[in-house]
Amino acid sequence: MCCIISDNTKKIMAQKKMILDLDTGIDDALALAYAVGDPNVDLIGVIASYGNTYVETAAQNSLNLLHLLGADEVPVFLGESHASTADHFDVMPISQLIHGKNGVGEVTLDVAPRGVEKQSGVDFLIASAHQYAEDLIFIPTGPLTNLATAIKKDAEVAHLIGNTTLMGGALTVPGNVSPFTEANIHQDPEDADYAFTRQKNLTMVGLDVTLRTLLTKTETAAWRILGTSAGEKYADLMDFYIDAYYNLDIDKKGAALHDPLAVAVGIDPTYVTTMPLAMHVTYDRDSGDYGRTIGDKEKLLEPTTTKAAILVDTTRFVSDFQKMMLTVLA
C-alpha cells in the first residue's frame, strides 16, 4: 500500500537546509514567504538582524509572518543589534518611509504564539554550520554583522557553510545610500569586509541584478483574489512598498524584489550570471568610497569561490516568484 507524503514532510526531508538572516522589512517578508514555499529547501531557522528596523522588531515581524504563513514550526533567533564598531543602532528615516515604522508597511499582523528562541542567532548559525556543512544555505539580507561575528567566534564557519548568498552591495551600478554604497553594506562595512574576505562559497546578489526584478500591483491584485488572510496581508504590505518606490521616485515602474532574489539564487543559481571575483569592502571613512564592494586588485590572479551576480533572467525569475507566491499565499 502506498502512502502520500505531505509537502511539509517533503521539505523536512529536503537535503538542503536554509537559514535566513533578516532585518525583516517588506522585501524580507517576501524572501521569507519564498523560503517557506519552496519544496527544495527546509527552512530550519531565521536569525533577526537590524537595518530596516530594530532587531527585536525584525524578530517579531518574522514570527508573525511565519504564523500568517502557517509555519510556526520555524524558530526565530535574535542576532546582533548593531554594528560591531558601534554602541547602538538608529533606523534611517528613509527606511521607515520605504518599509513603514513597524517594518511591514504599517500592516497589522496577528501576534505569533511562538516567541524568540533563547539561543543566540550567532550560536545557532555556528551549530548549524557544523551540523549541516555543505548542505547548509545561508541567506543574509541585511548587514553582515551576524556572519562576521560567527566567523570571529568560530573560524571554521567560513569553510563549513556550503552556500552563502547575500543580498547587498553594488558592483556595476551606483549604490542606494551613496554613489558607491548599498544600504545593507552601509550598515556595517567593517564586518561586511570581514565576511567578504573570509567566507568561502559566497555569492553577492546586489543592486546590479535586484533592480532589474520589479513587481507591480498587477501581481499583488492576484494575491488578493486568492481570498486568504495571507494573500490580503502580503498584498497590503507590498502595495505600501510599491507606493513608496513611486512616491520617493526610486522607481515608478514597480518595486524591486531584492531579498527574494537572493533566496531564489541560493536555491537555483541559474537565475543569474555571475563573475568570479575576490571582493572586499572599503571602510575607511576618509576614502571617498566608504562601503564600496569592489574587487581586490591584490587577488586578481588568485583562485576564488566568491562571485558577484551581474545579470539576471528577469522574466523567468519574476514569473517563478509570482507562481511561488500564489502557491504559498493560497
Sign of CA dihedral 228, 229, 230, 233: positive
328 closest CA partner among 188, 223, 179, 172: 223
Task: Please tell me the distance from the alpha carbon of residue 20 to that of residue 65, in angstroms, as a whole number.
Answer: 13
Amino acid letter, residue 302 = E
Residue for grid cell 502580503: 234
- Told to judge if 159 belongs to the known catalytic residues of this protein, a careful annotator would answer no
The Cα–Cα gap between 179 and 102 comes to: 28
Four-CA torsion 193, 269, 80, 279, nearest 10 degrees: 0
Strands 255-256 and 272-276 turn out to be unpaired
Nearest one of 174, 196, 188, 171 to 308, comparing CA atoms:
171
Check if 258 is active-site. Answer: yes
Go through 43-73 and write b for each residue having 16 or more CB atoms within 10 A of its CB, e for each that does not: bbbbbbbbbbbbbebbbbbbbbbbbbbebee
- Find the catalytic residue in 23, 191, 193, 236: 23
Q: Beta-strand (E) ranges in the chain?
A: 16-22, 41-48, 76-78, 136-140, 163-167, 202-205, 214-215, 255-256, 272-276, 279-281, 293-295, 307-312
The whole-angstrom separation of Cα 136 and Cα 146 is 16
Distance separating alpha carbons of residues 196 and 281, to the nearest angstrom: 7
Q: Letter for the amino acid at 23?
A: D
Annotated catalytic sites, by residue?
Answer: 23, 258
